[in-house]
């Protein structure tokens, strides 16, 4: 998302600085943006990086795949504190924090609203909620902040858990889901979240929380079937029984034999979508791409770059994940 966002800001003639632990490897950005390689837990480097900037968009995070509670809390909570403190001290005019709908946990009402009960699952959701609380505290200190809670977003250069499905479609194998796939699950296009972030920066509206998600979305089965048809694949959506699968994935997660976290396997088989009316009304933000659009767009990118992806693994969404035991399962089914 950082690379897509940088491109969006450059189109609007912003001067852009990227801060990341990973090397900047997007050829179209090299030489056009400033780049700082550091960890947001390094308070000194963060303060130095923020100096001279009017806007800060904080999207750095340790994902559930990291597993380590210490690292997830260190990056997502203490790292956020560092950036907030640096932004306040350096008189940043607008701070945008990228949170997540994971703060809601398993949906208790549909659609979920910004005022819905917050009951996150796992260290990741808990850390994001704690980071939101820090943002609320810094609002009271005078820092102008908008908090965005996006649904799982997808687009070119982003894979993560979706590689399981795209690889199956590419090879004509069964596309494994939990349950019958008849639950509605809202996603979000990376181009739409970029648009929302820029609006959250430029809007006079401040100190608000906004849900973000696709306007048009169907069930897992209907949306994934659309990708299968687009790819002219022999694949079909294949549902595993929910409860036995969740138990098996829980065991594999605890044994560190699968990167699929509790957040994934608890929410994937249930209806999950948020109200975006507040963002539409206050930010004048209107998502353009449906679930089908963004899934097809990303599959097209995956097909073109598949060989490159297969040679890279890690614990971010920009590379493939090592699915460990699940690699064997998907080859057998």
pLDDT tens by residue, 90-99: 999 999 999 9
Mean pLDDT of 93-120: 97
- Which residues have C-beta within 8 Å of that of residue 267, sequence separation ≥ 6? 106, 107, 121
Alpha helix segments (H runs only) across the chain: 2-11, 43-50, 69-73, 79-89, 122-140, 162-171, 190-202, 220-231, 242-254, 262-267, 277-282, 291-310, 325-332
Q: Is the pLDDT of residue 154 over 80?
A: yes
Mean pLDDT of 253-271: 87
Query: pLDDT for 178-187, tens place per residue?
Result: 999 999 999 9
Count of domains observed in the chain: 1
Query: pLDDT for 162-179, tens place per residue?
Result: 888 999 999 999 999 999
Report the b/e string of 135-144 with b at 16+ CB within 10 A: beebbeeebb
Q: Is the pLDDT of residue 324 over 70?
A: no
What is the C-alpha radius of gyration for the chain, rounded to an integer number of angstroms? 19
239, 183 in Cβ contact below 8 A? no
> For residue 214, what pLDDT is reported?
98
Average pLDDT, the chain: 92
Question: CATH code at 166?
Answer: 3.40.50.720
Q: Which residue has the higher pLDDT, 160 or 165?
A: 165
Mean pLDDT of 11-27: 94
Alpha-carbon torsion 29, 32, 38, 41, what sign?
Answer: negative
Q: Which residues form the domain of 284?
A: 2-332
Displacement of CA 231 from its chain's centroid (Å): 25
């Amino acid at each position: 998302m950082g690379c897509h966002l940088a491109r969006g800001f450059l189109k609007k003639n912003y001067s852009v600085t990227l801060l990341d632990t990973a090397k900047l490897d997007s050829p179209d950005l090299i030489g056009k943006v400033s780049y700082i390689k550091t960890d947001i837990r390094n308070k000194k480097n963060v303060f130095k990086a923020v100096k001279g900037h009017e806007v800060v968009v904080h999207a750095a995070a340790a994902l559930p795949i990291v597993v380590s509670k210490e690292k997830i809390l260190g990056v997502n909570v203490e790292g956020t504190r560092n950036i907030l403190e640096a932004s306040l001290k350096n008189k940043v005019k607008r701070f945008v924090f990228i949170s997540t709908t994971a703060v809601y946990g398993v949906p208790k009402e549909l659609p979920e609203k910004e005022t819905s009960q917050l009951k996150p699952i796992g260290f990741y959701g808990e850390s994001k909620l704690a980071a939101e609380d820090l943002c609320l505290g810094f609002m009271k200190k005078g820092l102008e902040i908008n908090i965005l809670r996006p649904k799982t977003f997808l687009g070119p250069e982003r894979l993560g858990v979706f590689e399981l499905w795209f690889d199956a479609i590419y090879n004509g194998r069964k596309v494994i889901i939990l349950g019958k796939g008849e639950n509605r699950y809202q996603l979000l296009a990376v181009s739409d979240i970029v648009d929302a972030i820029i609006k959250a920066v430029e809007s006079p509206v401040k100190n608000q929380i906004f849900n973000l998600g696709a306007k048009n979305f169907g069930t897992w089965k209907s949306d994934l079937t659309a990708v299968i048809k687009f790819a002219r694949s022999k694949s079909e959506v294949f549902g595993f029984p929910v409860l036995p699968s969740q138990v098996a994935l829980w065991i594999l997660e605890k044994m560190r034999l699968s990167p699929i976290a509790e957040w994934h396997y608890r929410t994937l088989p249930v209806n999950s979508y948020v109200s975006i009316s507040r963002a539409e009304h206050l930010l004048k933000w209107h998502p353009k791409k449906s679930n089908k659009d963004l899934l097809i767009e990303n599959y097209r990118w995956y097909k073109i770059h598949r060989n490159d992806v297969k040679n890279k693994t890690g614990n971010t969404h920009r590379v493939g994940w090592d699915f460990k035991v699940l690699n064997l399962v998907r080859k057998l089914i």
